Structure 1
Amino acid sequence: MLQPPMSVIDDVDLRLVVPGDEGVQLTATLRFEASDPFAVEATFRAGAESISWVLGRDLLADGLHGDCGEGDVRVWPTVDRGRHVVMLQLSSPDGSALLAADATGLDAFLRRTYEAVPLGFEGDHLDLDSVVAKLLT
């Protein structure tokens, strides 16, 4: 029997939205690990610079269909320049960013994560020892 993947990794095209400008094209590497089934790590790259955020898988999935999130991360679907995109608004004490992610690429990535760990079965894959160790470091 074919086993589902333990990791799902994919690159998604993004645009950093800059008021009054065309913005900046970026690539984000999305990483899902079955051992941490509620999270997606997004590493955003522009040239030699990169920054990583950990986002909720359910938040990204919900953001494909409606406005969700609060505080540091908000996600919502829209049409930008004739393309379906998912907007990611990220805020931290160091600043904020508004990103437009390709909705088709994000949806394809999330579908692959649900093949690896189906919705409702996250607890079967959660490595509690690893979670506790991360919390204590």
Structure 2
Amino acid sequence: MGPVTEQITLHLLIPDGSTVALDTDWRYRPDDPYAVRLDFGERAAGASWVLSREMLLASLCGPVGEGDIRFTPIDGGLLRLVLGRAGDSVILTVDRAELAAFLTATTESVPLGEESERIDWDGGLAGLLSA
């Protein structure tokens, strides 16, 4: 299978307690099998984050992460996603079922445990040596 792309609406928590809906693009490429790219688009000045697929899968089962990326399950079938460092972070929520569906599609594209078979190790090494 090829790349997996899904648009998922996240909700940004504003300091006054309200939320703002953000349409985000989640992208998975079989040639970069350990990573998921989260693109926030023009509304967020083109911000993007690269997340670990393994971490995202673990977030479906419970709290995960430390440092700049943390997920915590919360009520209502949601996951809280904190991006950034303490004092300079954003708090978002994502629908757990939507994220699970996206991740299921990634595992259909590249089954768990087969990631290393998809990496072009020789090409990567050649690129490093030619730089």
- Partner AA of 1:25 in structure 2: A
- Partner AA of 1:122 in structure 2: E
| TM-fit CA distance, 1:46 | 6.3
Determine which structure has the larger helix proportion and give its number.
Answer: 2
Q: How many correspondences in the alignment?
A: 129
Give 1:49's aligned residue: 45
CA distance in 1, matches of 2:12, 2:94: 9
Give 1:27's aligned residue: 23
The unaligned stretches of length 5 or more in structure 1 are: none
Query: Which stretch of structure 1 is more off in the superposition, 58-67 or 39-48?
Result: 39-48
Is the alpha carbon distance of 1:130 and 1:87 closer, same or farther for their aligned partners in structure 2, counting shifts above 3 Å? farther
- Partner AA of 1:19 in structure 2: P
Taking only the aligned residue pairs, the percentage that are identical comes to 34
CA distance in 2, matches of 1:132, 1:106: 35
CA RMSD of aligned residues (A): 2.5
The unaligned stretches of length 5 or more in structure 2 are: none
Name the TM-score, length of structure 1 as normaliser: 0.83
- C-alpha contact 2:12 2:91 (8 A) present in aligned 1: yes
Name the TM-score, length of structure 2 as normaliser: 0.86
Question: Is 2:94 the counterpart of 1:98?
Answer: no
| TM-fit CA distance, 1:131 | 7.7
- C-alpha contact 1:6 1:35 (8 A) present in aligned 2: no
Give 1:89's aligned residue: 82
Deviating above 2 A after TM superposition, structure 1's stretches of 4 or more consecutive aligned residues are: 45-50, 92-95, 127-134
- C-alpha contact 2:82 2:89 (8 A) present in aligned 1: yes
Deviations 1:90-124 (A, max 9, x none): 11599311110111111100000000001111111
| TM-fit CA distance, 1:45 | 3.4
| TM-fit CA distance, 1:73 | 0.7
- Partner AA of 2:100 in structure 1: D
Give 2:2's aligned residue: 6
